[in-house]
Structure 1
Amino acid sequence: MKYYGNINTEKEFDWLNRELDKFMDLNEKEVIIEKTMETKKGQKTFMIKFRKMLDVSEKYRGTVILFNDITERKEMDQILKKQQEKLEYYAFTDPMTGVSNRRTGLMILKQELLFKHRIDAPLSICFLDIDGLKKINDTYGHEEGDILINLIIENLKESVREIDTISRIGGDEFLIIFPGCFESDAEKVIQRINYKLEDYDKKNEKPYQHAFSYGILELCVDNKLSINAVINAADKKMYQNKMQKMINPK
């Protein structure tokens, strides 16, 4: 009555009769279900307990149905769940770009290296460094620098596969892990991204270019390098690419 006022119990609670019939068919003394319903006080969630009443000789004498309003508890559970999901998100994700953070990227790389040794599958990584970020930050402000980073990363996200991993290793440094890819395969992906950014710069009037330097490393089956050594090797190739661009600018 608190939640419904005067109602036709047979019409409004037809579902309850069905639940009661199911309970009576079970060889159980007690069953608990949850039910969310619209009431005059809004949507409410109830924990509903069906309990068989027996006399001293264990003969069935009736069923008691108890309603317990658990709406606030369910709402609190949802709040706590969302908070936990948020904590987990920030534990594994770079908040600015939405890609994996350094810790997660290194963990995934370690797993991929172990997997590669077990099945002898191709594996390539790409170490990427955004060009001119410090100058853009100093000239136009860090907010503009963040816009530059995010535009490049969005193009990366659109170009890689779901099984690939993009990880932010440092402020302007990113690692892409390409499972099942040879160096030539990863190179094609990076070139597609470069073409997209070049087209963007042709069509827009930003006072700077959206570009990056990169180094791709294909890992062979007998690779014995540590994770840090693997990243350093790709970083060295990236630096060579950056120096080459400075010597022969477009």
Structure 2
Amino acid sequence: MPQDPEIERILQDPKLNDNPLMPVVKRLYDETQEHKRQLQKLMRISDAFDGLTFQENSELREQFGKQLRRLQKIARISDMYQKNMVDMNEQLEYHAQHDLLTDLPNRRFAINRLKELEAIYQRKQTPFCLALIDIDHFKAINDKFGHELGDMVLKVVAKVLKKGARKTDVCSRWGGEEFLLIVPDLALESAEQMVERILHEVRAIPWQTHLPGNNLDFTVINEITFSAGMTVFQTNESFDETIKRADDALYQAKQAGRNCIRIA
């Protein structure tokens, strides 16, 4: 029985074992394979009937008609399962590359994009910049208001960051309260101006309209600030080294008092 190598690869990927869609995808795949086996069996029966003289045996004609109707029904069911498998595969692939909380691309997606940009740079010398953006004192927000509200803050920040970035940029959740912005086709100075504009929009978020509750201390929430470290990919280095320099620049921004951008 021929198998779908793409679906087999997904089912065997250990990174997706905890994905809630995996049991459903496996069940649909197994049922589709079983329907295919039944379909092939009926097709062999159908081929065997081709050599018979149906006009002289009404019982055989009736049996063939029943088998044919069953074959058509199974074919329709198989088509339905195939469509479901395609839909589930697309959902699984999406969730494998996106953060469940913020719906931003995740670290895996960002690394794949960095590999692509690194390869493009080797051919065309096309620049790209990175910015690591971190919410200052985010632990204090969780400690004071709870992790549920902290998650809400992350969602709102992610939405504003994504809206401020260009379509060609990648704004991903890098981990915890840290975001990685990948900016292709811009020199460092222009990329810095863009990141500064985005951070200005993030700092101006009207939290009262996004967070529930009348007892929240919005004075504290409105004072949320952001730090960023930026750099540009350089010749003869890997993107891992570029990320390391952006992380060093972020550390410098924290050491400088936070709420600022530092360039590596």
TM-score by length of 1: 0.65
Q: Please, what is the CA RMSD of the aligned residues? A: 3.1
Gaps spanning 5+ residues in structure 1: where?
1-52, 54-65
1:180-225: CA deviation from partner (whole Å, max 9, x where unpaired): 01112221222222222233248767331343211110223xx222
Map of 1:91 onto structure 2: 96
Task: For 2:135 and 2:236, locate their aligned partners in 1 and report how far apart those are by CA, in whole Å.
Answer: 29
The answer on whether the counterparts of 1:163 and 1:179 sit within 8 Å (CA) in structure 2 is yes
Letter of the structure 2 residue corresponding to residue 101 of structure 1: N
User: In the TM superposition, what is the alpha-carbon distance from 1:154 to its structure 2 partner?
Assistant: 0.7
Q: CA deviation at 1:111?
A: 1.7
Q: Does 1:181 align with 2:186?
A: yes
Structure 2 counterpart of 1:108: 113
2:133 paired with 1:128: yes
Q: How does 1:34-113 map to 2 (within 5 A)?
A: 68-69=72-73, 70-113=75-118
Q: Offset at 1:233?
A: 0.4
- Residue 237 of structure 1 corresponds to which residue in structure 2? 249
Q: Which residue of structure 1 lines up, in the alignment, with residue 124 of structure 2?
A: 119
1:212 paired residue number: 226
Question: Which letter maps to 1:162?
Answer: K
Give the aligned residue type for 1:212: F
Distance, in Å, in 2 between the alignment partners of 1:118 and 1:146 is: 41
Q: How many residues align?
A: 189
User: What amino acid sits opposite 1:228 in the alignment?
Assistant: D
Cα gap change, 1:246 to 1:216, in 2 (>3 Å): closer
Q: Contact 2:136 / 2:259 at 8 angstroms: preserved in 1?
A: no
What is the CA–CA distance in structure 1 between the aligned matches of 2:93 and 2:144, rounded to whole Å?
Answer: 36
Give unpaired runs (5+ residues) of structure 2. Answer: 1-49, 51-67, 210-216
Paired with 1:210 and 1:84, the residues of 2 have a C-alpha distance of 39
Max radius of gyration: which structure? 1
Paired with 1:124 and 1:154, the residues of 2 have a C-alpha distance of: 21
The Cα of 1:178 is off from its aligned counterpart by 0.8
User: 1:117-159 deviations in whole A, cap 9, x for unaligned?
Assistant: 2111221111111212111111111111111111111111111
Q: Which whole-Å CA distance do the structure 2 matches of 1:162 and 1:173 have between them?
A: 20
Q: CA shift at 1:179, angstroms?
A: 0.9
Question: In structure 2, what residue type is equivalent to 1:213?
Answer: S
Match for residue 202 of structure 2?
197
Q: Amino acid of the residue matched to residue 136 of structure 2?
A: D
Higher strand fraction (1 or 2): 1
Residue 247 of structure 1 deviates from its aligned partner by: 9.6
TM-score normalised by structure 2 residue count: 0.62
